Amino acid sequence: HRAAEAHLAGRTPRIDVEYRVLHRESGEYRWMHTRGQCFRDAKGKPQRVAGATLEVSERKRTEEALRRSEQALRESEERYQLAVDGANEGLWDWDLPNDTLFLSPRAQEILWRRVEGESRRPRREWIAMTEYHPDDVPRVRAAISAHLHGTTRLFDTEYRLRHHDGSWHWYRQRGIALYDARGRAYRMAGSMEDVSDRKNAEADRDRLERQLRQAQKLEAMGTLAGGIAHDFNNILAAILGYGDMAQREAPEGTALRRHIDATISAGMRAKSLVERILAFSRSGMGERVPVHVQSVVIEALDQIAASLPPTVRMERSLRGGDAGVLGDPTQIHQVVMNLCANAAQAMRSEGLLSVELDSLELSEPLCVSTSQLRAGPYVRLRVRDTGVGIEPRVLERIFDPFFTTRDIGVGTGLGLSLVHGIVTDLGGGIDVESRIGEGTTMSVYLPQQAFVAAPEAIDEPVTNGAGETVLLVDDEEALVRLGEEMLAQLGYEPVGYASSAAALAAFREDPLRFDLVLTDEAMPTMTGSELVHEIRAVRPDIPILLMSGYVSPALAARARELGVVEVLSKPLAARDIARSLAAALQHRASAATPH
């Protein structure tokens, strides 16, 4: 109505209006489209109106459906964009016939942190801007080829790219290809995301699992080592003890002397092997004391230098000063010896062995090959060689007990596992860096506890006995006879028993007869510790020495509580026995002197 009035008033050139009318038969509204024009006389007065009216209900329904479809599409696109933004993923679309690649702005931000111009460009241009990790290129190519040839339902791969900060980042790329009627791929699209945090977390988890497995293996080997050590050392005690006496009686230069010397040498190698097994199992850890690390390192390097082949040079850079570590000097000495021996063997013919010692402060936790170090002060020992290096597949196993890459007879495979056990027990860690053909660097970190003055060298002479009576107790009859002969040669009067019960009965019968007690620990019926307790009840002042083929920390602590002067580790040499007996008698004399 208003459209007709406007046209008749001359405000519009024609009538063109759409409206709805009620259809009487169906009761529904139908859309009508009316077009018309007013014809006027010379004065401009309307004379007549002519035009046409058409029903356009179908067109209006179509337009309404289209409008709703477009609205739904816009809402769908908005939801999709929100989902993509929320997922923090970048999108890519590869046009295979033209070999062009679309990268969304988010994809470009993930890769390079900034949008690099056009989002669609030839694929080779994107590749030129991207540095793939060389180890991952074959895997990515194989995954793309497999999907384009229909071998895989989806394209899904992970790889490393050089990030804008210079480091390698991990990315996950997923997609799907579209195929034409002939089965050839013409388009491939998908998404990509930076998964570095997840990959780093997985690497940390794998590292912790490896460390746990390593600790479990070392614990199992330690239990086995402790179980066999006592019996094995008892056997060695007899071999070395009787061999030592036979060696002193055999004339120099005779075949008999050469045979005995070879026997003693083999026995000493066996003794050294047991000591290394026990040290590796941490069964031999004694009381911890402040250790002047640099003095121990110097002593060990002097021994190593004497055994190096002339083609291997050694360089030292010792800047540890008076930095101290709370531990066992013997075990720290073993760490240096084993690392240097391992480095020297790695160089085979010639090379440079570099040893550095310094102290440093870690301001934050540091992840090393064997553990994660807490922040704080550390003493760092670095042993570097110019040898053949360690292959990556071998690196994970170098701390396994009895694992070695040396030829048969060259090594036992205990050196690095021993180092690992000692360093771990002291609360430290080991970092390994190796390059094939260039060499290996082992860095040992030990928690610094204090500053310790360097020890003074003391020449302690060995004093023989003066007829003092020693109560000797061991459940091995052969070791009792051996001990009696050795004590007699050292100037003592031995009284030996192969039964702890019989020894206790003899002591109770005449406690003042004996000046000192030397007893084994592991014995049937009554252990050495139990015998010490009974003897102390009878005569508290008598000095007692305890010996065992397996000196555990628990045994050392128990012996201290019982007032044992010293716990000796089998097998014992005559010089060790003489020193310990003299020290025990001196301890008794000092205790008896009034202050």
Q: Which of 451, 481, 510 is the last residue of a domain?
A: 451
Residue 402 and residue 281: Cα distance in Å, rounded? 12
- Give a yes or no: residue 137 inside a domain: yes
Q: Which of 28-42, 134-148, 282-296, 472-486 has the lowest mean pLDDT?
A: 282-296
259 pLDDT more than 80: yes
Last residue of a domain, one of 135, 167, 194: 194
pLDDT by residue (tens digit) across 192-234? 888 888 888 888 888 778 777 766 766 676 666 666 766 777 7
Smallest Cα–Cα separation from 275: which of 550, 479, 520? 550
> Could you tell me if 457 and 292 are in contact, meaning their C-beta atoms sit under 8 angstroms apart?
no
> What pLDDT, on the 0 to 100 scale, is given for residue 424?
84
Does 451 have pLDDT greater than 50? Answer: yes
β-pairing verdict for 351-362 and 312-318: parallel
Same domain, 267 and 308: no
Same domain, 295 and 437: yes
CATH code at position 156? 3.30.450.20
Buried b (16+ CB within 10 A) or exposed e, 458-474: eeeeeeebeebbbbbbb
Where does the pLDDT of residue 410 fall: very low under 50, low under 70, confident under 90, or very high at 90 and above?
very low
What average pLDDT score do residues 374-383 get? 93
- Identify the pLDDT of residue 273: 67
Residue type, 48: R
Question: Does any domain span residue 41?
Answer: yes
Please check whether residue 576 lies inside any domain of the structure: yes
Flag whether pLDDT at 388 surpasses 90. Answer: no
What pLDDT is attached to residue 381? 94
Nearest to 189, CA basis, from 290, 291, 104: 104
**pLDDT above 80 (res 587):** no
Same domain, 300 and 409: yes
523-546: pLDDT as tens digits: 888 999 999 999 999 999 899 999
Does 469 score more than 90 pLDDT? yes
Lowest-confidence pick of 107-116, 343-352, 423-432: 107-116
| Domain presence at residue 200 | no
Of 70-74, 432-436, 470-474, minimum mean pLDDT range: 70-74
Domain shared by 293 and 434, yes or no: yes
pLDDT of residue 163: 81
Which CATH number characterizes residue 225's domain? Answer: 1.10.287.130
**DSSP letter (8 states) at residue 282:** T
What is the CB neighbour count within 10 angstroms for residue 158? 16
Domain check: are 300 and 439 in the same one?
yes
If asked whether residues 98 and 134 sit together in one domain, one would say yes
Identify the pLDDT of residue 119. Answer: 80
Residue whose C-alpha is closest to residue 343's, from 303, 407, 389? 389
Q: Considering 194, 229, 246, which residue would you say is the last residue of a domain? A: 194
On whether residue 130 sits in a domain, the answer given is yes
**Across 255-284, average pLDDT:** 71
Do 403 and 418 touch, CB atoms closer than 8 A? no
In total, how many domains does the chain have?
5
Residue written as tokens 């008076």? 322
Question: What number of CA atoms fall less than 13 Å from residue 43's CA on the CB side?
Answer: 2
pLDDT at 554: 80
* CATH number for the domain harbouring residue 586: 3.40.50.2300
- pLDDT, mean over the chain: 83
Higher pLDDT, residue 244 or 176: 176
Are residue 249 and residue 341 in the same domain, yes or no? no
Provide the residue range defining the domain that includes 18.
2-55
297 shares a domain with 386: yes
Answer yes or no: is 242 within a domain: yes
| 3-state class percentages of the chain: helix first, strand second, coil last, to nearest 5 | 45, 25, 30
Q: Could you give the percent of the chain with pLDDT greater than 70?
A: 87
Residue whose C-alpha is closest to residue 206's, from 396, 394, 432? 396
* 69 inside domain: no
